[in-house]
Amino acid sequence: MIYVLILLPICFILTFTMIRRRQRENNKPVIVSDHPSQLHPFNAQQASEERKRTADAETDTSDNLATCSILIIDDQSAIRMLLRELFELEGLTVYEAINGAAAIDTVRSTAIDFILLDLKMPDMDGIEALQGIRRWNEHAQVAMITAFGDPLKMEAAKQLGVQSFFTKPFDIERVKCHVLNSLKKQDCKVEHDPLIE
């Protein structure tokens, strides 16, 4: 009986230890090597070519966008900061404006290719700001960000050349893809001088 009382806890401890060891081994990450020497020769060549194509495509995209500029107009600093970081990572030159007056001043002195414009701002709304912007830059593409979809304001925005509207809270990836695709279709390498009074 004493032997059973001594062996029982030892068996329990050993069993528990083995179970824990198996769990740890089953939860280890699987490491897959894609080193060419460990792949089939055909796959190594194919993988190498794929990496080169991807790198070339990324270089071409960043070269095309390197001369592009975007103006972010929003009275909320968190939104401006988020969008600034997002587009700077893509290689764009990013300008910010806290309100419509600052946006018009920026467009007067700087060549802008794309504008992300908030519809509702304290000093003037996005429509008034865009009317002022269009006096200085008729060619910049514009997407409007709004929390409220007022049909009359949206129609006025369309007449001023706005083709896209994003509702807050917006999908950041969707905004990024839209802006980048629009800029890729546009030749940003041509330096256009803003009009001067």
Global pTM value: 0.62
Q: Please give the pLDDT value at position 141.
A: 92
pLDDT in tens, 131-188: 999 999 988 999 998 887 678 888 888 888 888 898 888 889 999 999 999 998 876 6
pLDDT of 61 > 50? The answer is no
pLDDT in tens, 86-110: 999 999 999 999 999 999 999 999 9
Q: Is the CATH code 3.40.1160.10 the one for domain 58-185?
A: no
pLDDT of 192 > 70? The answer is no
Q: Where are the domains of the chain?
A: 58-185
Average pLDDT of the residues in 66-75: 90
Which residues have CB under 8 Å from 161's CB, separation 6+? 134, 138, 141, 142
Query: In this structure, what DSSP letter does residue 128 have?
Result: H
Q: Please give the pLDDT value at position 11.
A: 65
Percent of the chain topping pLDDT 90: 37
Q: Please give the pLDDT value at position 26.
A: 53
Q: What values do phi and psi take at 95, rounded to 5?
A: -115, 150
For residue 83, give the nearest of 188, 166, 156, 139 by alpha carbon.
Answer: 166
Give, for 52, the enclosing helix (H) or strand (E).
helix 41-65
d(CA 159, CA 171): 25
Q: Please give the pLDDT value at position 167.
A: 86
